[in-house]
């Protein structure tokens, strides 16, 4: 019997990636990409470690998933990410033609929705999955960062 997982299950896996980022001093955003009910890519922010402003969790996950499937288009794939994608990541997701994006917390200042960024017309987007847990992790990170400085 094949087990089918729901969005909350996979978002918890993305939150684990965000926790890894947190532990490394990175902004705690985590992402996974799923195809056929299987995780094919796991990633978290690496902007500090790589000194690369483009090393967002989504960008890392797109690269890993494309490598896994052996092609640049992520058709029939779903991205789970703890924070609404920014404009840069939304652009990359547009070009990847990913089928679905599920995010946790909304980014009211830099999120693709707030900026009116277009996604691929065939991409479905679902927001607010484990939003509170995702937002709480982000808040905790910035509180700790402020207290260290």
Check whether 89 is labelled as a binding-site residue.
yes
Who contacts 140 (Cβ-Cβ below 8 Å, separation ≥6)? Answer: 22
- Tell me how crowded residue 141 is: count the other CB atoms within 10 A of its CB: 18
Using the Cα atoms of residue 82, residue 88, residue 89 and residue 93 in order, give the sign of their dihedral. positive
Check whether 56 is labelled as a binding-site residue.
yes
132 counts as catalytic: no
Check whether 112 is labelled as a binding-site residue.
no
What is the chain's Cα-based Rg?
A: 14
- The residue from 17, 26, 58, 84 that is catalytic is 58
- Tell me how crowded residue 142 is: count the other CB atoms within 10 A of its CB: 11
Q: Which residues are annotated as a binding site?
A: 56, 86, 89
The residues annotated with a catalytic role in the active site are: 58
Annotated binding site for Zn(2+): 56, 86, 89
């Amino acid at each position: 019997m094949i087990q089918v997982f729901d969005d909350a299950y996979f978002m918890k896996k993305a939150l684990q990636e965000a926790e890894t980022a947190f532990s490394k001093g990175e902004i705690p955003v985590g992402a996974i990409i799923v195809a056929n009910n299987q995780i094919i890519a796991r990633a978290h922010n690496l902007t500090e470690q790589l000194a690369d402003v483009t090393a967002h969790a989504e960008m890392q996950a797109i690269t890993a998933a494309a490598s896994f499937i052996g092609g640049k288009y992520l058709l029939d794939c779903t991205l789970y990410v703890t924070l609404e994608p920014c404009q840069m990541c939304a652009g990359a997701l547009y070009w990847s033609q990913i089928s679905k994006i599920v995010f946790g917390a909304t980014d009211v200042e830099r999120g693709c929705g707030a900026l009116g960024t277009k996604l691929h017309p065939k991409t479905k987007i679902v927001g607010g999955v484990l939003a509170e847990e995702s937002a709480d992790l982000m808040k905790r990170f910035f509180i700790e960062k402020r207290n260290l400085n």
